[in-house]
Every structure is written in structure tokens, then in C-alpha cells.
Structure 1
Amino acid sequence: MINVLIVDGFSSGKFLAKKLHEHGCLLWHLASNPVMDDYYYVGFDVSIYQKSMTHLNIESTLFELEPFEVDVIIAGSESGVLLTDLLNERLGLSYANEAASSYARRNKYDMIDSITQAGLSAAAQCAVDNWAAGCEWIKTQKKFPIVVKPLQSAGADGVYICPDLAACERAFKEVLGTRNRLNIENRQVLLQEYLLGTEYVVNMVSLGGRSLVTEVVKYQKRLLASGRIVYDIDQLIDSSAEVYAELVRYTRQVVKSLGIKNGPSHAEVMYTETGPVLVEIAARTDGILRSKVCTETTGLGQINAVALSIAHPKEFEQLLASGADYKLLKYTYNVCLINTEEGVFRQTAFLAELIRLDSFFEVVFYLADGQHIGITNDVFSQPGTVYLVHPDLGQIESDYAKIREMEAAGIYRDI
């Protein structure tokens, strides 16, 4: 039996934990912080864990872990990445990433700086703690938009696309000194060149420094009047797509340069006129994934692959040895709900209409019926995600349009 500690088993980490449990692994859970956003605990099932702990300091956590004789420690969500690295280093476990580059896998300035030093294409950037320095750097760029965001965040939290200097200053002041959704104070602000192109996700799972591609996804995002961006559609593409090989080749170089040797990686990559350029990468599973959807669309998927690499590494190594790319079995859209007015969340009528859609597969609501619903401005304020799966892409496109029509009419919201 394999003993696995999951640090912050939230987001898609909930489903990774379930899959590991199905494989017969013995699970413990560790919350990296006693103060976590309520968003993370939606759907969290503590019953599959033998024990649940909360991290206060490294020595007390290591002491509490001693009886468990842990074999593998893995982050379930972004907030657990740094603590996972630290525990792996202290315990000397083999299923781990390079300790020296741990911070560069979380700090977005260090991340881009690291791949730049490795000779990979990257955005121009500057990290500052005062507006005067930021303003000076922006003026040297001589072009807009400029991206303004925290150094350590997730889910588009605090990310602004700014069309001019005044918008940059407003965004800078919105970010600096605030505490983000990972409960980290924004002591500096990251300013970056805006990358023009089509954005993709490249998900991989590594074992012993070799990586398996599980998904390449095309993003569609929506730019709000505030300058914030929200996710709209995630569309899985086939390995035969024209951009696939180049995206994968570039991302493998990024993964290597940042010391990701074992476990999942979730890279957001802009395909520009000069080729792929990293937006950011995370050493954890893609937060929007659902293993049942992946089984329908590729037969495997990142969550299942991570579980396999831990519970049955020899089987995973066989997949690596085959060198085969995944094949798209069915089309899929992950549709992120975008609410535009405050109100009260009502799911009954919406769910009844969703079920009637030919491509409907699953819906995940992040709010309870009757709960207050705010305006969507990042992943954390999305009311839910609808998963569409079908052999006919045209059917999915038609059903997507119907979802947006229902949403515009306020079907899941009482004012």
C-alpha cells in the first residue's frame, strides 16, 4: 500500500484524491494554511482521508507525519505547491521536483526569469513595489496593453489587461498591498508585456524527468470593461492539430528548465506570430479537469495519469515508452459560467434546461441554491462550470450558444 499525503487537496485535487483512493492508496490530508478561501472547500470530501491536518510550522508538521511513513507528497492545488516542495526536500522523497527551483515554480517573475536564462522565448517584465518604478518601466516599453498582476496568485485573481498608463496605475493600486485568494499579501506587482496570439494549455505528467502529454487545450477568455479577464471556454484539441507539436516541444523545455521531474504540470502558453511563449506554469493538476470527462474524450487525462504514476508507476512508464500522443475521441467544451449581476443563485430551472442539451455531460456549481451570487471577475467568482461532450463539434457549439442565451436572460439568478 502506498501512503500519500495531499497538500491542499482542493480544486481538481479533490478528484485526484478520489482516484488515488480508488487505486488503494492510503491518504492523509494537510491544509497549508488554517485560513483558506471558502471556494476551496466546496465539494471537499474528508471521509476518504485517514487523517486531516493543518500546517502551522514545518517542525510540528514533520513530527505529526512521522507515524504515517509517507511515500509520496503531492500538491492538490496551487496553494500547496511550496509546502509540498519543502516537505519533499526535508523527507528526501523521490517523487519530487528540484528543490532549488521551487520558488520559481510559484513566483511568476522568477518563473519567467528562469526560462529566459534557459534561452526560451518569454515576455518582457518588471516586478516593483512602487508606482514610480512601475511607471518608468512601462514608458520604456512604448506600447500597450500592459499586463498587471500579482507575483503569486491563481485563477486570474488580480490580473488586469491595461490599455493605457492611467489604467495601469489604477490596476497597480488595486493589487499592491492587498491579500490575494491564496491568502498571500501582494508586496510587489508584476508588470508584463502583453502577448498577442492564441492561448493554449499544455498539461503533462512527469515521472523521473520524462513527461507525458495528457491535454492540449485552446482557451477562449473574455476581457471585461474593468480590465479583468475571465475564462469562457476550454476546448480540447487533437494531437494532429497544426500547433500541437510546437507547443509540446516548447513546454517540455519549460518543464525541464523549472525542475519539474515528477507529477503534474499545467502550462498556459500563448502561441504568437513568433511561436510559443509562456504565460505561466504550475506544478499541479489543471483546476477545471474532471476525470470522467477525460475518460470520454481521450481515454486517460491528467488526473488519471497522475494517479497512475503514483499507484502503478510501471504502467505509467509503459505509456511513456510508447511515445504515443493522445487521440481525441470526442469533442468537449468546458464552459465557465460568467455572471454579470448580483443576486441570489437559483439552479433548478437552469439544470432542467442543461439536461435537455444533446452535448450536456456534467455541471459543477460552486454555490448552493439560495446563496448570494456576485459578479464574475475571476475563477473564484464563477458560479459554475458546464461540461459539454459530443462526437459532433457543431452540436457543442450550438449548445454553448444556448447556455450563453440562458445566462444572459438570468436563468440561474434572482435579482
Structure 2
Amino acid sequence: MKKIIVVDGFSSGKFVAMTLYKMGCELIHIASRCDLDSYYYAGFDETIYRQQRINKHIDDTIEFARQLGADAVIAGAESGVLLADRLNHELGLCYRNAFVTSSARRNKYEMINTLANAGLSAARQIDTADWEDASAWLDVHATWPVVLKPLESAGSDGVFICQDKQSAYHAFLAILGTANKLSLVNESVLLQEFLDGTEYVVNFVSLDGEPLVTEIVRYHKRRLPSGSVIYDIDELLDCTSPEYQPLVDYTKQAALVLGIKNGPSHAEVMMTSGGPVLVEIAARTDGILHPDVAAVTTGFGQLVAFAQSLADPDRFRQTLKKESYRLNAHSFNVCLINQAAGMFSAKHFERELQRLPSYKKSVYYVNEGDNIKVTKNVFSQPGTVYLVHKSKEQLWQDYTSIRKMESDGFYLLP
């Protein structure tokens, strides 16, 4: 029986932990800190863990992990990546990523600089806590829009796309000194060149430096009047898509440069007129994934692949040899965008969703009876509806129906 420490087994990491548990692994949970946002604890199942601990003093946590004699330490969510890296380094475990680039896998300024220094296409940028420095860079850059975001965050948390210096100034103030959803205070602001093109997700699971492609996704996003970015649709793509090979080739190089050798990676890559350019990459699973959706689309998926690479590496190596990324059905993850404040109730909405030919499941990030506000950022999106069908045309029809239901307030009490 393999003994595995899971650091922050939240988000899609909770499904990885459950899969490992079902595969016979003994699990120990460590929370990276005591003040993690309650957002991450939704759906957390503590019953699958033999022990639980909160990291309060790093030396004590290292000694605790050493005494356990763990076979592996993994991060279940973005908030756990740095601690998992540190524990893997201190324990000298085999299933780990390069420690020397650990910071560059979290700090977005270091991340992009590392790629640029390796000769890969990368965005121009500056990291500063001084608006005068930011303003001077904007004057030299002299191209709009620009992107402002925290150095360390998850998803689109704190990301603004700004059309002029005034909106950039307001975004700068909105980010600097505030705490993000990783419970980290933004001590500086990252300003980056806006990458014009279509954004994609490239998900891998690697073992000993060999990556397996598990998902390729086209993002459909919306930019709000504030400049904040929210998710609209995640559209799963097949390997026959013309973007597939250049995205995979570029992301393989980026992952290796950043020292991702074992476990999952979740990359966001912009396909520009000059080719792929990294937006950011994380050494964790894609947070929106669900294993039951993957089972009927790709037949495998990042979550199960990650668990297999840990619990049954020989079988995973056989999977690597097949290179068999194919779609059995098309899929849209439709991210809900609430248009009016009110009391949330999914009952009527669920009844109507069940009528849609492509409806697979829905997941809500709020509770029945909660008062919810108009969606202003990714963390105020109330849920995701998963659509799966052989026909992409059917997906678009059902997507349109969902947006109509939203505009009619189907998940708000009258």
C-alpha cells in the first residue's frame, strides 16, 4: 500500500485523492496554512484520510512528513504547490519536480522570464509595487490593451485587461495590497503585454519527464466593463484540430524548462499570429475537471491519469506508449454568469437543464438559499454546467438555452 501525502486536497484535487483512495493508497492530508479561503473546502471529504494536519511551522511539518515515511507528496490545489515542492525536496522523493524552479512555477514574473531566458516565446512584462514605475513602463510599451494581475493567484483571480492608463491605474490599486483567493497579499503587481489571439488549455500528466496529453481546451472568455475577465465556455478539442500539435510541442518545452517532470500540469497558452505563447502554467490539475465527464469524452482524463501515474506507474508507462488522445464525444463546460442579485435556488433550473439533450451534470459553488450578487469575477460565478454530446451543434443549441434561462432568472427565487 502506497502512502501519499496530499497538500491542500481541494478543487479537482479532491477527485484525485478519492481515486487514489479507491486504488488502495493510504492518504494523509496537510493543509498548507490555517487561513485558507473557505471556497476551497467545498466538497472536501476528510473521511478518506488516515491523518490530517495543518502546516503551522515548516520544520515541524517536514519532520512529521519524514516520520510518516511517505512514498509521495502531491499538491491537490494551487495553494499547496510550494509546500509540496518543499516536502518533496526535503524528503528526497523520486516523484517530484525540479526544486530549483519551484518559485518560477508559482511566481508569474519569474515563470515568463524563465521561458524568455530559455529562448521560448514569452510576453513582455514588469513586476512592481510602484505606480510610477508601472506608468513609465506603460509609456515605453505604448501598446494597448495591457494585462494587470497578481504575481501568484489561481484562475482569473485579480486579472484585469486595461484599455488605457486610467483603467490600468485603477486595476493597479485594486490588486496591490489586497489578499487573493490563495490567501496571499499582493505585494506587487504584474503588468504584461496583451497577447492577442485565442487562448487554450493544455493539460499533461508527466512521469520521469515524459508527458501524456490529457486535455486540449479552447477558452471562451468574457471581458467585463471593469476589465475583469470571467469564464464563458471551456470547449474540449480533439487531436485532429489544427492547433493541437503546435500547442503540445510548445507546452512540452515550457514544462521542461520550468522543471515539471512528474505529475500534472495545467497550461494556459495563447495562440497568436506568431505562434503559441504561454499565459501561465501550474503544476497541478485543472480545477474544473470532473472524472465522470472525462470518462465519456476522452475516456481517461488528467485526474485519473495523475492517480495512475502514482499508484500504478508501470500501467501509466504503457498508456504513454499509446499516445491515444481522442474524443469520444464533444464537451462544453458552461460557466454560469449571474446577471441579477437575488436568492439562489437550483430546483427550477435543474428541471429545465434535465430537458437539454447534452446535459451531463451541474456543479454549484453556492448553497440553496444563499444571497448571490451579479457576477463580477471568476469567484462570483455560481456554478458550471457540463454538456456532452456527439454533435457540437447540439452543444451550441443547449448553451444558448442555458444563457436564456440565466437571463430569465431561472436559478433565482422570484
Corresponding residue of 1:374: 373
- In the alignment, the residues of structure 1 paired with residue 66 and residue 79 of structure 2 have an alpha-carbon distance, to the nearest angstrom, of 23
Deviation, 1:340, is 2.4
- Asked if 1:387 corresponds to 2:408, the answer is no
Corresponding residue of 1:281: 281
Corresponding residue of 1:264: 264
Please tell me the residue identity of whatever aligns with 2:195: L
Residue 44 of structure 1 aligns to a residue whose secondary structure is coil
- In the alignment, the residues of structure 2 paired with residue 51 and residue 255 of structure 1 have an alpha-carbon distance, to the nearest angstrom, of 32
Question: What are structure 1's unaligned runs of at least 5 residues?
Answer: none
Corresponding residue of 1:362: 361
Question: What are structure 2's unaligned runs of at least 5 residues?
Answer: none
Corresponding residue of 2:352: 353
- In the alignment, the residues of structure 2 paired with residue 66 and residue 244 of structure 1 have an alpha-carbon distance, to the nearest angstrom, of 42
Deviation, 1:376, is 2.0
Query: Equivalences for 1:54-73 in 2 at 5 Å?
Result: 54-73=54-73
Corresponding residue of 1:45: 45
Q: Alignment identity in percent?
A: 51
Corresponding residue of 1:253: 253
Deviation by residue 1:222-266 (Cα, 9 ceiling, x = unmatched):
000110000010011000110100000000000000000000000
Please tell me the residue identity of whatever aligns with 2:350: L
Moved more, 373-382 or 24-33: 373-382
Residue 362 of structure 1 aligns to a residue whose secondary structure is strand
Deviation, 1:67, is 4.2
Corresponding residue of 1:202: 202
Aligned length: 414
Deviation, 1:378, is 2.9
- Asked if 1:34 corresponds to 2:34, the answer is yes
- In the alignment, the residues of structure 2 paired with residue 29 and residue 378 of structure 1 have an alpha-carbon distance, to the nearest angstrom, of 30
Residue 413 of structure 1 aligns to a residue whose secondary structure is coil
Deviation, 1:321, is 2.3
- In the alignment, the residues of structure 2 paired with residue 251 and residue 66 of structure 1 have an alpha-carbon distance, to the nearest angstrom, of 34
- In the alignment, the residues of structure 1 paired with residue 309 and residue 70 of structure 2 have an alpha-carbon distance, to the nearest angstrom, of 16
Corresponding residue of 2:137: 137
Please tell me the residue identity of whatever aligns with 1:374: K
Write out the 4+ residue segments of structure 1 that deviate beyond 4 Å after TM superposition: none
Deviation by residue 1:153-187 (Cα, 9 ceiling, x = unmatched):
11211100000010000000110111111011111
Query: Equivalences for 1:67-216 in 2 at 5 Å?
Result: 67-216=67-216
Deviation, 1:342, is 2.1
- In the alignment, the residues of structure 2 paired with residue 327 and residue 17 of structure 1 have an alpha-carbon distance, to the nearest angstrom, of 25
Residue 260 of structure 1 aligns to a residue whose secondary structure is coil
- In the alignment, the residues of structure 2 paired with residue 158 and residue 350 of structure 1 have an alpha-carbon distance, to the nearest angstrom, of 29
- In the alignment, the residues of structure 2 paired with residue 339 and residue 314 of structure 1 have an alpha-carbon distance, to the nearest angstrom, of 46
Residue 213 of structure 1 aligns to a residue whose secondary structure is strand
- In the alignment, the residues of structure 2 paired with residue 166 and residue 379 of structure 1 have an alpha-carbon distance, to the nearest angstrom, of 23
Deviation, 1:341, is 2.4
- In the alignment, the residues of structure 2 paired with residue 241 and residue 325 of structure 1 have an alpha-carbon distance, to the nearest angstrom, of 15
- In the alignment, the residues of structure 2 paired with residue 262 and residue 377 of structure 1 have an alpha-carbon distance, to the nearest angstrom, of 36
Kindly report the root-mean-square deviation, in angstroms, between the aligned alpha carbons of the 2 structures. Answer: 0.9
Deviation by residue 1:19-69 (Cα, 9 ceiling, x = unmatched):
111111111111101011111111111111111111111111123334421
Corresponding residue of 2:5: 5
Moved more, 262-271 or 333-342: 333-342
Corresponding residue of 1:339: 338
- In the alignment, the residues of structure 1 paired with residue 268 and residue 87 of structure 2 have an alpha-carbon distance, to the nearest angstrom, of 26
Deviation by residue 1:186-208 (Cα, 9 ceiling, x = unmatched):
11100000000000000000000
Deviation, 1:214, is 0.4
- Are the equivalent residues in 2 in contact too, given 1:155–1:380 (CA < 8 A)? no
Please tell me the residue identity of whatever aligns with 1:159: V
- In the alignment, the residues of structure 2 paired with residue 202 and residue 262 of structure 1 have an alpha-carbon distance, to the nearest angstrom, of 16
Corresponding residue of 2:230: 230
- Are the equivalent residues in 2 in contact too, given 1:114–1:257 (CA < 8 A)? yes
Deviation, 1:98, is 0.2
**TM-score normalised to the size of structure 1?**
0.98
- Are the equivalent residues in 1 in contact too, given 2:333–2:384 (CA < 8 A)? yes
Residue 292 of structure 2 aligns to a residue whose secondary structure is helix
- In the alignment, the residues of structure 2 paired with residue 215 and residue 130 of structure 1 have an alpha-carbon distance, to the nearest angstrom, of 39
- In the alignment, the residues of structure 1 paired with residue 27 and residue 371 of structure 2 have an alpha-carbon distance, to the nearest angstrom, of 34
Corresponding residue of 1:291: 291
- In the alignment, the residues of structure 1 paired with residue 376 and residue 218 of structure 2 have an alpha-carbon distance, to the nearest angstrom, of 20
- Are the equivalent residues in 1 in contact too, given 2:65–2:87 (CA < 8 A)? no
- In the alignment, the residues of structure 2 paired with residue 379 and residue 286 of structure 1 have an alpha-carbon distance, to the nearest angstrom, of 15
- In the alignment, the residues of structure 2 paired with residue 55 and residue 374 of structure 1 have an alpha-carbon distance, to the nearest angstrom, of 34
- Are the equivalent residues in 2 in contact too, given 1:239–1:325 (CA < 8 A)? no
- Are the equivalent residues in 1 in contact too, given 2:207–2:261 (CA < 8 A)? yes
Deviation by residue 1:345-400 (Cα, 9 ceiling, x = unmatched):
11110111111111000111111100121232333222111000011111111111
- In the alignment, the residues of structure 2 paired with residue 372 and residue 136 of structure 1 have an alpha-carbon distance, to the nearest angstrom, of 43
Corresponding residue of 2:307: 307
- In the alignment, the residues of structure 1 paired with residue 300 and residue 378 of structure 2 have an alpha-carbon distance, to the nearest angstrom, of 25
Please tell me the residue identity of whatever aligns with 1:120: L
- In the alignment, the residues of structure 2 paired with residue 257 and residue 305 of structure 1 have an alpha-carbon distance, to the nearest angstrom, of 22
- In the alignment, the residues of structure 1 paired with residue 4 and residue 126 of structure 2 have an alpha-carbon distance, to the nearest angstrom, of 38
Please tell me the residue identity of whatever aligns with 2:293: V
Residue 326 of structure 2 aligns to a residue whose secondary structure is coil
- In the alignment, the residues of structure 2 paired with residue 76 and residue 24 of structure 1 have an alpha-carbon distance, to the nearest angstrom, of 18
- In the alignment, the residues of structure 2 paired with residue 358 and residue 115 of structure 1 have an alpha-carbon distance, to the nearest angstrom, of 44
Residue 284 of structure 1 aligns to a residue whose secondary structure is coil
- In the alignment, the residues of structure 2 paired with residue 288 and residue 364 of structure 1 have an alpha-carbon distance, to the nearest angstrom, of 10
Query: Equivalences for 1:9-20 in 2 at 5 Å?
Result: 9-20=9-20
- In the alignment, the residues of structure 2 paired with residue 352 and residue 414 of structure 1 have an alpha-carbon distance, to the nearest angstrom, of 14
- In the alignment, the residues of structure 2 paired with residue 347 and residue 258 of structure 1 have an alpha-carbon distance, to the nearest angstrom, of 42
Residue 14 of structure 2 aligns to a residue whose secondary structure is helix
